[in-house]
Chain A
Amino acid sequence: MDGDLILDMRGIWKSYPGVSVFEGFDFDLRRGEIHCICGENGAGKSTLIKILSGAHAPDRGTILFEGRKVENLTPHSAMQMGIQTIYQEHNLFPLLDVVENLYAGNQITNGWVIDRPTMVARTRDILKYLHSEISPFERVGRLSSSEQKVVEIAKALVQEAKVIVFDEPTSSFSQVETDHLFEIIRRLVENGKSIIYISHHLEEVFRIASRVTVIRDGRKVGTYPIAELTEQKLIRDMVGRDVSLFYKRDRLPIGEDVVFEARHLSGNGVRDVSFTVRRGEILGIAGMDGSGRTELAELLFGVKRADSGAILIRGKPVRMKTPLSAIRNAMCFITEDRQALGLFLKHALTRNIPIVSYTRTRTPFALPSEDIRLSEHYVEELKIRTPGVSQLAMQLSGGNQQKVVLAKWFASRGEFFIFDEPTRGIDVGAKEEIYRIMVDLLREGKSIIMISSDMPELLAMSDRIIVMRGGAASALLEKDDINQETVLKHAIGVA
């Protein structure tokens, strides 16, 4: 119906093994508008980008581009049609100059010979159009992050983009750089380009958007002209889910004694964070992606060293020089990326599960019979579904792999657990099992620090929540303060 629609997605379904992201998602983009997409972590923003850029195909649904139905979108055909995506991390060749980057894979030729003078001239034109001072001959790796973003926009223009998708373009930008980017985006729109802009900085959304679409749990909550939207409404749309769906954990009495404490920790992108954890408590750490949560965990576990501040265990200061010092102090770190950082994928469970426990014994020996006994014990206790302990870690499902990681730390008889995204990429059934295991830990008097992007998980499991923003703790929420809106407000900084 709308003649000015350049892109129209209808009834998009998309699921990955174990998780369903889109269940009938609709989205439309008008020619010459800036359309912002808002949603929590994991709402489906990045899946939308992957579908638009042709990286992943939707399971069902239709995509109309300029009124024509699009089928079998590949990254190449998406670009040819005129959809360019500018990702959060750069997609440039750092060792090549600006000209070569703009025309990479797309060189202007004179018969068989590359026509560099024409390429240089056009690069100059485009950079001038973007009001950029960058030299065409500068090596891209030597440009600042915001200059590289300009090069990516220029590259999109070279490839005659009609739609440009920006994914969190301003993370790591200064205010001036952000202003400059916005100027460029406005100029693109004046020249008839259409923009999809994804950001969790609400103030940016209100500055630049013509329309806003809110996604929650893979569904469109609504699309609004910016004039009809307030911050309050936007946040309510982003979080508004039925609380009865949350996991209900057993609440246990929490000890009065503080067993773990961080005082004014700084370094590794973390700025002056202090908190306490009591016996038998789950301290949740909330925040948007890139707010410094994992970086904080790395300081606590000695992966990176703090510039200043102190960590106290049972009131005694402890120096976390390496992960080994953390392990010796009974700490455990269940990392976000279990395959890259947690598991020995090509090794049997008997080589995975006992590996941390070796640091807790004094002898230099490690007996295979003990490895098997320990592995079998945890396979049974955590109900790890495997044909046997000689199975390789890579052969297990995501949820069972996560249990192997847990078994590895349980075998070290730790007392303080840092969980970084404990249930990412795990199906619902296994999630509840992990939650039950966490509550069992509390029952044994252990303490947990839990980083999570999964709002229901965070709210359901945490006794108290620290919200992080820009590397600092922006709020500490207790009991009655803990609700979706408060957490999100502190995370995106409108409170």
Chain B
Amino acid sequence: MTLKSYSRRENGPIFLTLLAVIVAVILVEMFFVRGGDITKVAFIKPRNIANVLMQVSTTGILAISMTFVMVSGGIDLSVGQMMCFVGTGMAFMMRILGVNDVLVALIGVVVAVLFQVLMGFIISRTKLEPFIVSLGFMTIYKGFTYLITNGSEITIVDHFTFLGGTYFNLTSTFRIGMPVLVLIVLEIVTWLVLKYTKFGRSVYAVGGNENAAYLAGINVKSFKLLVYGLNGLFVAIGTMVLLSRLGTGNPLIGDGKEIDVIAAVVVGGTALSGGKGNLWGTLIGVLLLGCISNALNILGVNPYWQYVMTGGIIILAVLLSYFSGLSSESAKVGPRRGDSAQSKKALAE
């Protein structure tokens, strides 16, 4: 398969972008920092790769359910502040109230799901924009967070160690942590759900044309409740993962996370208007943003410049998929994969 034909595939452009960024980072580090010696390049050392995977795990988990939300035509700006709220709330229960870890996890999940269902209820029963409704919830969560913590962090040493402290040694130098395993498992499960279930079809149908979906017998309102509820579940899981790694319920634990998550989903090819997108694209988007941030650190770029460069790369990636989308739409290409001889015959008639 040539590079050109690959770029026409759904995740082609973003995957090529990821490869290009990785190669560029390696070359830049090798020639400008390590004096041309590839064995000294820190970016591709197993330890660093494991590190990048660990760093993107939370964003990756949240980006999965955000993909569901956005492909079905919604958006949720509240996920970052919800993490703060749920995270500090769990820390509070464990540290101050001394509640058992398992119970805390359960309560965290239930609260997150309930709040998301409430939000989904408002969004699905009215014509209010999800953007505005979730903006409101975002602010509410921020308030809750400071009511719980009063602005200071709540440390929780020795809790949730199963999540944050379990490692799997794949080789003597390469090990992955439990958060990465959780991400991989969730990624595979949700990919199967999206591809092989009616629920998955509904995600695309509702995002593609809500009215047509309703007339095709999909209960659009309940469906949206379900999607937002699912989002709550994933936010709770992501929060636990991060909480266990950091060992502290910081009121800023998820601050700004919604930007990372939405950026990764959009860079990964999901249309803001809904109906288009997929989980592998999202995962590549997550990895792309993770790699960039990691590389800029390794290269010793001024942190303030890192924002500028990350933003620029997001825009570049989206532009790239926009232009590749334009060319494939206007081309109206002939038979593609999956087309049988029968349908070719139909064309010939």
- Measured CB to CB, the nearest residue on chain A to B192 is A365
CB distance from B226 to the nearest CB of A (A): 12
> When chains A and B are docked, how far (Å) is the Cα of A386 from the Cα of B337?
14
Interface string of B321-347 (1 = CB under 8 A from A): 000000000001111111110111111
A178 interfacial by beta-carbon distance below 8 Å: no
> When chains A and B are docked, how far (Å) is the Cα of A418 from the Cα of B343?
28
Instruction: Give the total of B residues in contact with A, Cβ under 8 Å.
Output: 38
**Residues of chain A with a CB closer than 8 A to B212's CB:** 340-344
> When chains A and B are docked, how far (Å) is the Cα of A335 from the Cα of B211?
11
Q: Interface size for chain A: under 10, 10 to 19, 20 to 34, or 35 or more residues? A: 35 or more
A408 interfacial by beta-carbon distance below 8 Å: yes
* Pairwise interchain contact A366-B346, C-beta atoms closer than 8 A: no
CB contact between A388 and one of B215, B218, B335 (< 8 Å): that residue: B335
CB distance from B8 to the nearest CB of A (A): 12
Interface string of A350-372 (1 = CB under 8 A from B): 11001110110000111110001
Find the residue from A322, A345, A383 having the highest chain B CB count within 10 A.
A322
* Pairwise interchain contact B217-A388, C-beta atoms closer than 8 A: no
- Measured CB to CB, the nearest residue on chain A to B332 is A395
CB distance from B196 to the nearest CB of A (A): 6
A17 interfacial by beta-carbon distance below 8 Å: no
* Pairwise interchain contact B343-A333, C-beta atoms closer than 8 A: no
**Residues of chain B with a CB closer than 8 A to A350's CB:** 338
> When chains A and B are docked, how far (Å) is the Cα of A37 from the Cα of B276?
47
CB distance from B269 to the nearest CB of A (A): 13
**Residues of chain B with a CB closer than 8 A to A367's CB:** 196
Interface string of B252-271 (1 = CB under 8 A from A): 00000000000000000000
**Residues of chain A with a CB closer than 8 A to B345's CB:** 380
- Measured CB to CB, the nearest residue on chain B to A409 is B216
- Measured CB to CB, the nearest residue on chain B to A298 is B215
Interface string of B184-223 (1 = CB under 8 A from A): 0000000000011111110011001101111111110000
* Pairwise interchain contact B338-A388, C-beta atoms closer than 8 A: yes
**Residues of chain B with a CB closer than 8 A to A364's CB:** 197-199
**Residues of chain A with a CB closer than 8 A to B204's CB:** 344, 347, 351
B158 interfacial by beta-carbon distance below 8 Å: no
**Residues of chain A with a CB closer than 8 A to B217's CB:** 322-324, 327-328, 356, 359
> When chains A and B are docked, how far (Å) is the Cα of A395 from the Cα of B332?
7
> When chains A and B are docked, how far (Å) is the Cα of A356 from the Cα of B217?
7
With A323-B217, A356-B217 as contacts: A380 and B198 at CB distance below 8 Å:
no
CB distance from B188 to the nearest CB of A (A): 16
* Pairwise interchain contact A387-B343, C-beta atoms closer than 8 A: yes
A390 interfacial by beta-carbon distance below 8 Å: yes
**Residues of chain A with a CB closer than 8 A to B335's CB:** 387-388
* Pairwise interchain contact A324-B219, C-beta atoms closer than 8 A: yes
CB distance from A468 to the nearest CB of B (A): 22
With A358-B198, A388-B336 as contacts: A341 and B342 at CB distance below 8 Å:
no
B164 interfacial by beta-carbon distance below 8 Å: no
A236 interfacial by beta-carbon distance below 8 Å: no
* Pairwise interchain contact B215-A366, C-beta atoms closer than 8 A: no
**Residues of chain B with a CB closer than 8 A to A335's CB:** 215
B275 interfacial by beta-carbon distance below 8 Å: yes
A248 interfacial by beta-carbon distance below 8 Å: no
B37 interfacial by beta-carbon distance below 8 Å: no
* Pairwise interchain contact A333-B215, C-beta atoms closer than 8 A: yes
CB distance from B114 to the nearest CB of A (A): 24
Known contacts A324-B217, A340-B211, A341-B209, then 16 further A-B pairs from the complex at CB < 8 Å, ordered by chain A residue: A323-B216, A327-B217, A335-B215, A342-B215, A344-B205, A347-B204, A347-B205, A351-B205, A355-B216, A359-B217, A379-B342, A387-B333, A387-B347, A388-B344, A390-B339, A408-B216
A interface residues with partner B (beta carbon < 8 Å): 301, 303, 322-324, 327-328, 333, 335, 340-347, 350-351, 354-356, 358-359, 364-368, 372, 376, 379-380, 383-390, 395, 408
A/B interface sample: 29 pairs, CB < 8 A: A303-B215, A324-B217, A333-B215, A340-B209, A341-B209, A341-B211, A341-B212, A341-B215, A343-B209, A344-B204, A344-B213, A345-B208, A346-B276, A347-B204, A351-B204, A351-B208, A354-B201, A355-B201, A355-B205, A356-B217, A358-B201, A364-B197, A366-B198, A379-B342, A387-B335, A388-B338, A388-B339, A390-B338, A408-B216
